[in-house]
A = this chain, B = another copy of it.
Amino acid sequence: MLIDIQQANANAIAAIQASQPVLKGIGTALEVVPGMKKNLILHAGPPITWERMSGPLRGAVMGALIYEGLANTPEEAEKLAATDKIEYSPWHEHDGVGPMAGVGTASMPVWILEEQKGGRKTFCTLNEGLGKVLRYGAYSEEVITRLKWMETVLAPVLKAAIPLAPEINLKNMIAQALQMGDEVHNRNKAATSLLIRELAPAIVKTSFPETDKARVLEFMHSNDHFFLNLSMPAAKMMLQAAEWIEGSTIVTTMCRNGTDFGIR
């Protein structure tokens, strides 16, 4: 059988351009990410075993095991991580993306994106900010404390706010932000600003204590990378639309885990 590669690629481009990722909500990874399990650690890039992991990815895994209560100390975590009690899988096999080390575990809140016309979903954790953070491999107490606050305050407030806000079409928001100087990877100031002004009235309308609402707005305001964890799953959703189109030579995934690079 002959395949018309040009036609297949045209179909792929059309599928990418037709995709309209919208912000659907926030959920707990265990409940919403396909195939998620309590002993599963999702990570950036292609599949990898503990033995071959780079330092930052190992650090993030150790932090995640402490965060999940599966280990009490970094030493315990390091031992546990090397056993077959813990499984590893790439975010890209679970309709998600992970920035940097990209470690995601069962209790973590995740953004849920959906095609505007319904159907496919993509996922990503919430951005922790810069400095000592899990995605750069840090696992100190301050990192775990912040992750717990994100789970117990940030995520519930945003989860309640999103249905009270107008629908957020992330493709449109990214298009606007690109015109304002962002590239929505390492510069997300405009996109983060646009997201804040869209969500702020809805955050006020939730029934959480004022201190929580103010802290959530301050957290987003203090972190110009906050939008990164939305631009990534939005890009994932648009490119995923072109995955597995027979004969298409368009690369839909490029990723790395700190050791290997992978394409799809």
A196 contacts B by Cβ under 8 Å:
yes
Contact with B along A175-200 (1 / 0, CB 8 A): 00001110000000110111011101
A221 contacts B by Cβ under 8 Å:
yes
Contact with B along A208-219 (1 / 0, CB 8 A): 001001110110
Complex CA gap A218/B32 in Å reads 31
Residues on A lying within 8 angstroms of B by beta carbon are: 179-181, 189-190, 192-194, 196-198, 200-205, 210, 213-215, 217-218, 220-221
Known: A203-B204, A204-B214. 9 other contacts (CB 8 A): A190-B190, A192-B197, A196-B197, A197-B197, A197-B200, A197-B220, A201-B215, A201-B218, A205-B214
Complex CA gap A180/B189 in Å reads 9
Q: Return chain B residues, CB-CB under 8 Å to A194.
A: 193
Complex CA gap A33/B72 in Å reads 63
With A180-B180, A181-B181 as contacts: A201 and B221 at CB distance below 8 Å: yes
Q: Is the CB of B201 within 8 A of A197?
A: no
Nearest B residue to A218, CB-CB: B201
Number of copies: 2
Q: Return chain B residues, CB-CB under 8 Å to A204.
A: 203-204, 210, 213-214, 217
Q: Is the CB of A200 within 8 A of B180?
A: no
Q: Return chain B residues, CB-CB under 8 Å to A202.
A: 214
Q: Is the CB of A197 within 8 A of B205?
A: no
Complex CA gap A190/B176 in Å reads 10
CB distance from A191 to the nearest CB of B (A): 10
Complex CA gap A204/B217 in Å reads 9
Determine which of B180, B214, B218 lies in contact with A190 in the assembled complex, contact meaning CB atoms within 8 Å: B180
Complex CA gap A234/B182 in Å reads 26
With A180-B181, A181-B181 as contacts: A201 and B189 at CB distance below 8 Å: no
Complex CA gap A210/B205 in Å reads 7
Complex CA gap A179/B179 in Å reads 11
The 7 A-B pairs of least Cβ separation, nearest first, read: A193-B193, A201-B217, A204-B214, A180-B180, A200-B200, A196-B197, A201-B218
